[in-house]
A = this chain, B = another copy of it.
Amino acid sequence: KVNRDRLMNDIHTTSEWGKGEAWGSGKTEIGMSRLSLSDSDKQARDWFRNVTESLGCKVTVDAMGNQFAVRPGLDNDAPPTYVGSHLDTQPTGGRYDGILGVTAGVEMLKVLNDNWVETAYPVGVVNWTNEEGARFPASMVASGVWAESIPIEKAHNLRSVIPPGDTATMRSELERIGYLGNVPASYKATPMAAHFELHIEQGPILEAENRRIGIVQGVQSYKWFTLTVRGRDSHTGATSFQHRADSLLTASKMILASHRIASRHGALASTGIIKALPGSTNTVPGLVEFSLDIRAPLDETVETVEAECRSTFDKIIAGETGESTEGVNDACTSSSRSCSIEWRTDFVSPATHFHDECISCVTHAAKDLCGGGETQGKNVGAWGKLMTSGAGHDSVYANKRCPASMIFIPCRDGVSHNPAEYSSPDACADGANVLLGAVLRYDRL
């Protein structure tokens, strides 16, 4: 069994680096702002190396800055069973997203050491780089390179988008903080027997249904785009609506239309980044760039929403009115008429289905912890729920190169990517116990 207070202590200690906004008066009621490859991310990485080395691990760093800590087993010719997650956060994130998964891995190492456990094969803990995709706008990019799904040059050349106008790249920041490792970033150089990940749910279901453990069967499909709307800079006081090519008004229509299209298909569409140039009160903006994140359980739904957005955005610019443009064009559509639109696809993550063997290890470990209930096949008791993740995780890419699955625990109000993100110490310990159990089970297999 894990030591709950020791685990919480690691969570809160590492969260001293990169503290964000306070949401309450308590010492730990403070969010996180630890952008990938920032100075505070370096501090968290140094901690990870030191603590895992002191627990007897060998730590390697690959060319994407991924840190792999391996505790030897009885037979070290086979690859380790890994626990993995990330230590980077959103700009206004919380202290559980990612951090829980890594610290629970460290806690696993401590429990194994305390109890002189010798595993059949090595076990490892991995800290993946830039999982959030907040600073460098491609989520899970470093596990994506490890899986050889994303070319390393593309990843290295990703440019920071926070703060706006930053010119640092992943490669330049890896070099700057001393985490451009010399191991090739590839599953071939760093093979894994399996990959387990503990994470907060980031949604409201487990809490609402009063369940302790989510057994994650897969992750929904998603795609990220950057859209550029070009119009014409002009004077807000001297230019009639008819004479305008208003890129921000046009982008506003597109954001609203994407929301309507996604709603109709039971999908999600979200814009998190928007930039309007030249950025003067009395100049109609001639250039707008905005992000578009489309998600749905099925790849086909994401494709449909994308296709409808593409055709509707074209119609918004063509000045069509009525239903065809989701009702956002109006009598005075001419302001959008001389605009143009350009799409860039930044990131694609198809729907993921985790590995049955791993899902089964998690299910059994959860049953060992929570007891009761039926665990026939995939039926779980009242203590848990089989679910699909709305968020992406490094397990998505790990699952391409080794069996993988995930464990969710409830978080308050389903709130995540927010300083007020919170999971109780008992819930964190539950998750860490299931993680430990699942790894030991897999090792025995």
Q: Which residues of A contact B (CB under 8 A)?
A: 90-92, 132-134, 137, 139, 161-165, 201-204, 220, 222, 224, 232-241, 243, 246, 248-249, 251-253, 255-256, 259-260, 262-263, 268, 270-274, 276-286, 291, 293, 295, 327-328, 330-332, 335, 346, 389-392, 414-419
Contact between A134 and B241, CB atoms less than 8 A apart: no
Q: Majority SS of interface residues in chain A?
A: loop
Tell me, rounded to whole Å, the shortest Cβ–Cβ distance linking A143 to chain B: 16
The residue on B at minimum CB distance from A411 is B238
Tell me, rounded to whole Å, the shortest Cβ–Cβ distance linking A70 to chain B: 31
The residue on B at minimum CB distance from A292 is B281
Contact between B202 and A91, CB atoms less than 8 A apart: no
The residue on B at minimum CB distance from A295 is B237
Can you list 24 residue pairs at the A/B interface with Cβ under 8 Å? A90-B280, A91-B278, A92-B286, A133-B282, A137-B281, A139-B281, A161-B279, A161-B280, A236-B272, A236-B295, A237-B293, A238-B391, A238-B414, A238-B416, A252-B253, A260-B330, A271-B285, A272-B276, A272-B282, A280-B417, A282-B417, A283-B418, A327-B327, A328-B328
B-side contacts of A415, CB under 8 Å: 232, 234
Contact between A268 and B237, CB atoms less than 8 A apart: yes
B-side contacts of A236, CB under 8 Å: 268, 270, 272, 293, 295, 417
The residue on B at minimum CB distance from A285 is B272
Contact between B416 and A280, CB atoms less than 8 A apart: no
- Whether A283 touches B272, Cβ cut-off 8 Å, given contacts A202-B235, A237-B391, is yes
Contact of A286 among B252, B262, B418 (CB under 8 A): B418
Contact between A235 and B284, CB atoms less than 8 A apart: no
- Whether A237 touches B164, Cβ cut-off 8 Å, given contacts A270-B246, A281-B134, A293-B282, is no
- Whether A256 touches B328, Cβ cut-off 8 Å, given contacts A237-B222, A282-B134, A283-B92, is yes
Tell me, rounded to whole Å, the shortest Cβ–Cβ distance linking A10 to chain B: 24
Docked complex Cα distance between A331 and B256 (Å): 12
Tell me, rounded to whole Å, the shortest Cβ–Cβ distance linking A250 to chain B: 10
Tell me, rounded to whole Å, the shortest Cβ–Cβ distance linking A279 to chain B: 5
B-side contacts of A238, CB under 8 Å: 201-203, 389-391, 414, 416
Known: A236-B270, A238-B390. 15 other contacts (CB 8 A): A91-B279, A132-B282, A133-B281, A134-B280, A161-B279, A203-B239, A232-B415, A237-B392, A241-B263, A252-B253, A252-B255, A272-B280, A272-B283, A282-B417, A283-B417
Contact between A248 and B274, CB atoms less than 8 A apart: yes
Tell me, rounded to whole Å, the shortest Cβ–Cβ distance linking A121 to chain B: 33
The residue on B at minimum CB distance from A415 is B234
Contact between B279 and A276, CB atoms less than 8 A apart: no
Docked complex Cα distance between A249 and B418 (Å): 18
Contact between B281 and A224, CB atoms less than 8 A apart: yes
B-side contacts of A204, CB under 8 Å: 243
Contact between B164 and A279, CB atoms less than 8 A apart: yes
Docked complex Cα distance between A246 and B417 (Å): 13
Tell me, rounded to whole Å, the shortest Cβ–Cβ distance linking A282 to chain B: 6
| Among all A-B residue pairs, the 4 with the closest Cβ atoms | A238-B390, A202-B238, A236-B270, A252-B252
Contact between B252 and A162, CB atoms less than 8 A apart: no
The residue on B at minimum CB distance from A134 is B280
Docked complex Cα distance between A161 and B278 (Å): 11
- Whether A259 touches B332, Cβ cut-off 8 Å, given contacts A235-B416, A282-B139, is yes
Contact between A332 and B416, CB atoms less than 8 A apart: no
Contact between B253 and A256, CB atoms less than 8 A apart: yes
Contact between A233 and B418, CB atoms less than 8 A apart: yes
The residue on B at minimum CB distance from A135 is B280
Tell me, rounded to whole Å, the shortest Cβ–Cβ distance linking A342 to chain B: 17
Contact between B285 and A281, CB atoms less than 8 A apart: no
Contact of A165 among B163, B276, B281 (CB under 8 A): B163
Tell me, rounded to whole Å, the shortest Cβ–Cβ distance linking A349 to chain B: 10
Docked complex Cα distance between A282 and B91 (Å): 11
The residue on B at minimum CB distance from A274 is B276
Docked complex Cα distance between A91 and B277 (Å): 9
Contact of A281 among B240, B263, B293 (CB under 8 A): B293
Contact between A414 and B293, CB atoms less than 8 A apart: no
Contact between A243 and B283, CB atoms less than 8 A apart: no
